Amino acid sequence: MRIIVTGGAGFIGSHIADAYVAAGHEVLVLDSLWEHGGGRRSNVPERAGFVHMDVRDEQVERIVREFKPEVVSHHAAQHSVAIGSRDPKYDADVNVRGLLNVLDACVRGGVKKVIFASSGATFGTPDHLPIDERTPQRPESPYGITKMVAEHYLRFYRSEHGLDFTALRYGNVYGPRQDPSGEAGVVSIFIGRFIKHEGVRIDWDGEQTRDYVYVKDVAEANLAALERGSAGCYCIGTGVRTSVNAIYHALVEICGFEAPITAGPKRAGDARDAQFNPELAARELDWTPQTNLLDGMRRTYAYFAEQNPATAKSS
Ligand SMILES: NC(=O)c1ccc[n+]([C@@H]2O[C@H](COP(=O)([O-])OP(=O)(O)OC[C@H]3O[C@@H](n4cnc5c(N)ncnc54)[C@H](O)[C@@H]3O)[C@@H](O)[C@H]2O)c1
């Protein structure tokens, strides 16, 4: 199959591109290498093509017409809740206008299906846990709003133009290649600090929980969505919720180093708990997460240690 992965130079998108290439598909990555994102040219698999382009660029249609993909995996995004909250217009420009530019190109280029990186952020603070596909979506950030709006546009393009879709609502994805700086996931931020033998900041009381899902399991969900999940939106999580304090203690075990802790305040808009029920994904996508958090953290640590041998050696 021929597949374009937008955002395929980024953290999650590059693992998806890897999985598609490994499965024998022909992959083209389209990515702007946005300065505040996790995109790196070196993340793109050798056997995939690469186009350095913004998803809002009108040339996207030409790329789609020339490559003639059957599927477009849309992972390019303004991915940061904090940036989206500071600059909702930019968030909407990339996450809505960029999406529409890609969808129009798909319709004109004869693409059959779009796989979309949606988010648990579309749910806001749910009344009950675990979150599942019947949980009302009440996003509390511009980022969550644009991800939810995107799902509505996908439904519209399917009914209006016959462009099929699967939307995958990820929990907190972690793993190799996640940017350890900035506001990326706590697992990679902590690992980055532990490896340098630096202290970590734990906000609130550290008992806030998230559903952490390993990036290679997310890539598997994207493989499953090539053939399954027509017109569906799925929660892609593990069903397990883990506190920030538990992540810290697991890393002390893994690294043999007790990083000093600085206490930080609760961050505005931070939800207390998140946990996803992945049963619908199991039934309809035939997908279940395979990696438990400790194993995934060990693999992530090994990756970052390899990237930083000088600092990691002493641990
Ligand atoms: N990381 C998570 O836990 C998580 C959870 C839910 C959803 N998502 C979604 O998954 C997708 C990938 O996220 P990630 O964590 O890998 O982030 P990332 O920043 O590593 O990847 C996003 C990629 O999109 C590219 N990009 C950004 N703006 C672009 C533009 N205007 N045109 C073309 N390319 C552009 C970036 O260069 C980057 O390579 C995003 O859509 C994000 O919203 C991520």
For residue 91, how far is its CA from the centre of ligand 1 (angstroms)? 12
Do residues 182 and 65 share a domain?
Answer: no
Do residues 159 and 220 share a domain?
Answer: yes
- Residue that wins the pLDDT comparison between 188 and 312: 188
Cβ–Cβ < 8 Å for 285, 223: no
The pLDDT mean for the chain works out to 95
The predicted model gives 274-281 an average pLDDT of 98
Ligand 1 test: best mutation among 42, 79, 213, most atoms within 8 Å of CB? 79
Asked whether residue 11 is domain-assigned, the answer is: yes
Per the structure, the complete domain to which residue 105 belongs is given by 2-171+215-236
Asked whether residue 243 is domain-assigned, the answer is: yes
Do residues 9 and 157 share a domain?
Answer: yes
- 143 classed as catalytic: yes
CATH number at residue 152: 3.40.50.720
Do residues 37 and 99 share a domain?
Answer: yes
Q: Which atom of ligand 1 is nearest to the CA of 36?
A: 19
Percent of the chain with pLDDT over 70: 97
Percent of the chain with pLDDT over 90: 92
Asked whether residue 282 is domain-assigned, the answer is: no
> What pLDDT is attached to residue 267?
81
Give the pTM.
0.97
For residue 34, how far is its CA from the centre of ligand 1 (angstroms)? 9
> What pLDDT is attached to residue 163?
98
Nearest one of 17, 6, 4, 13 to 179, comparing CA atoms = 13
Asked whether residue 284 is domain-assigned, the answer is: no
Asked whether residue 124 is domain-assigned, the answer is: yes
Cβ–Cβ < 8 Å for 92, 142: yes
Do residues 73 and 200 share a domain?
Answer: no
> What pLDDT is attached to residue 184?
66
Do residues 228 and 261 share a domain?
Answer: no
Cβ–Cβ < 8 Å for 151, 122: yes
For residue 7, how far is its CA from the centre of ligand 1 (angstroms)? 6
Do residues 23 and 159 share a domain?
Answer: yes
Asked whether residue 36 is domain-assigned, the answer is: yes
Do residues 180 and 164 share a domain?
Answer: no
Three-state secondary-structure class, residue 301: helix
Q: Is the pLDDT of residue 313 over 60?
A: no
Phi, psi for residue 200 in degrees, rounded to 5: -120, 155
Per-residue pLDDT of 62-86, as tens digits, reads 999 999 999 999 999 999 999 999 9
How many structural domains comprise the chain? 2
Do residues 7 and 155 share a domain?
Answer: yes
Q: Which residues line ligand 1 (CB under 6 A)?
A: 7, 9-13, 31-34, 37-39, 54-56, 75-79, 94, 98, 117, 119, 170, 172-173, 185
Contacts of 220 (CB under 8 A, 6+ apart): 19, 287, 290
Nearest one of 170, 26, 287 to 8, comparing CA atoms = 26
> What pLDDT is attached to residue 182?
65
Per-residue pLDDT of 222-271, as tens digits, reads 999 999 999 999 999 999 999 999 999 999 999 999 999 999 998 876 78
Do residues 121 and 232 share a domain?
Answer: yes
Residue 63, H or E segment = helix 60-67
Do residues 51 and 189 share a domain?
Answer: no
